[in-house]
């Protein structure tokens, strides 16, 4: 007996208020297609196992910010998980600009670069896959509202332990972000904006999608990559801007107590740029307002990315 689909048997997708805009164009593998045709298969190992990598990149004034650094990190992530990217760096760059053009982005925007392991057999072996899928999305990005930069973020220290750097390495910008998702969820549940994550040695690593910096006695301190952090592109720019201002910068082992007694604290990332942190676990950082070094670096960063 065959079942004829009727209106009552056809399931329709409920309206998703967060669905992408219908006229968006996405690079899928070899070309730009309408978002309605931009689909990954249910057998894609990116979906089945989180087996893949990504990058989040800003576009300022029609230009891709720190493009070479992001492409480099993309290739480093790929190398670490033995994913052979299907395109060269130059081809990826061309695909990003083509996707921007297709979406009419001439001002500011955001690029999400993704490469999944591709469609394969059920089974985690990478030898069961053959065709990695490279995706480029160029769109707007959700940013913190301006008032957050005035009042600063309120953070908790998460009970979710940062992935061990010798396990699912946080240095790989992989499609497996559950560690970060769980910590962010805990922050929201606690009524905070963000979570600071501690590694299994009890050292500060980073926030859920941003690196963290402290200021103490006029010195800038930040955890080293060995603590289980992503080596942020924004982090590197901020370290360079501090050096230009002759502010000493060092990578240091930091613990929870260092957060509480910091004179200033801020987070850095592609989306947030530099955002002050003014409270951690109900301890006011400094005088509870964005500090002078933080403010100076915020201004320097805006000048720097406008010049680039
Ligand atoms: N740590 C983690 C875990 C990140 O995911 C950073 C630090 C900052 O790195 P960059 O290179 O951006 O300075 C990130 C970056 C998003 C989003 O959609 C997340 C990032 C970047 C852009 C968008 O949540 N994370």
Model confidence pLDDT, tens digit, residues 106-121? 999 999 999 999 999 9
Distance of CA 118 to the CA centre of its chain: 22
Q: Give the residue whose CA is nearest to atom 15 of ligand 1.
A: 209
Separation of CA 270 and ligand 1 centre (Å): 6
Q: Which of 84, 116, 139 is the last residue before a domain boundary?
A: 139
Structural domain count, the chain = 2
Q: Is residue 282 part of a domain?
A: yes
Indicate which atom in ligand 1 lies nearest the CA of residue 170: 3
| Ligand 1 pocket, Cβ-based, cut-off 6 angstroms | 56, 180, 206, 209-211, 230, 232-235, 268-271
pLDDT of residue 12: 57
Instruction: For residue 173, indicate whether it is catalytic.
Output: yes
The answer to whether the beta carbons of residues 269 and 210 sit under 8 Å apart is: yes
Q: Is residue 5 part of a domain?
A: no
The answer on 299 and 162 residing in a single domain is yes
Q: How far apart are CA 203 and CA 304, in angstroms?
A: 31
Model confidence pLDDT, tens digit, residues 223-278? 999 999 999 999 999 999 999 999 999 999 999 999 999 999 999 999 999 999 99
The answer on 282 and 152 residing in a single domain is yes
Model confidence pLDDT, tens digit, residues 33-49? 999 999 999 999 999 99
Q: Strands of 63-64's sheet, edge to edge?
A: 31-34, 25-28, 133-139, 109-116, 52-60, 63-64
Which residue's structure tokens are 């045709």?
Answer: 37
H or E element that contains 133? strand 133-139
The answer on 274 and 251 residing in a single domain is yes
The parent domain of residue 279 ranges over 146-170+177-307
Q: Is residue 97 part of a domain?
A: yes
pLDDT of residue 10: 53
The answer on 204 and 264 residing in a single domain is yes
Given a cut of 80, whether residue 13 has pLDDT beyond it is no
The answer on 255 and 234 residing in a single domain is yes
Q: Is residue 235 part of a domain?
A: yes
């Amino acid at each position: 007996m065959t079942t004829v689909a009727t209106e009552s048997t056809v399931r329709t997708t409920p309206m998703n208020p967060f669905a992408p805009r219908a006229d968006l164009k996405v690079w899928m593998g070899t070309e730009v297609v309408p978002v309605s045709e931009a689909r990954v298969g249910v057998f894609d190992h990116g979906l089945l196992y989180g087996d893949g990598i990504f990058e989040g990149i800003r576009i300022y004034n029609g230009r891709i910010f720190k493009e070479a650094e992001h492409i480099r990190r993309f290739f480093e992530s790929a190398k670490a998980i033995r994913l052979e990217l299907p395109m060269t760096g130059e081809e990826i760059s061309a695909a990003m600009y083509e996707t921007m053009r297709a979406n009419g982005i001439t001002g500011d925007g955001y690029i999400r670069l993704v490469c999944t392991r591709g469609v394969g057999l059920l089974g985690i072996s990478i030898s069961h896959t053959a065709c990695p899928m490279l995706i480029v999305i160029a769109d707007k990005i959700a940013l913190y509202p301006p008032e957050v930069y005035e009042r600063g973020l309120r953070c908790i220290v998460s009970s979710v332990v940062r992935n061990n750097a010798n396990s699912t390495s946080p240095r790989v910008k992989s499609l497996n972000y559950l560690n970060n998702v769980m910590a962010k969820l805990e922050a929201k549940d606690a009524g905070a904006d963000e979570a600071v994550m501690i590694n299994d040695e009890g050292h500060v690593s980073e926030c859920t999608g941003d690196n963290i910096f402290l200021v103490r006695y006029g010195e800038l301190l930040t955890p080293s990559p060995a603590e289980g952090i992503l080596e942020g592109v924004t982090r590197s720019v901020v370290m360079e801007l501090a050096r230009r201002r002759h502010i000493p910068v060092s990578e240091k082992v930091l613990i929870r107590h260092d957060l509480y007694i910091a004179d200033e604290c801020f987070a850095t990332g592609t989306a947030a740029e530099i955002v002050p942190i003014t409270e951690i676990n109900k301890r006011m950082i400094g005088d509870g307002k964005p500090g002078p070094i933080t403010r100076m670096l915020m201004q320097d960063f805006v000048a720097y990315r406008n010049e680039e």
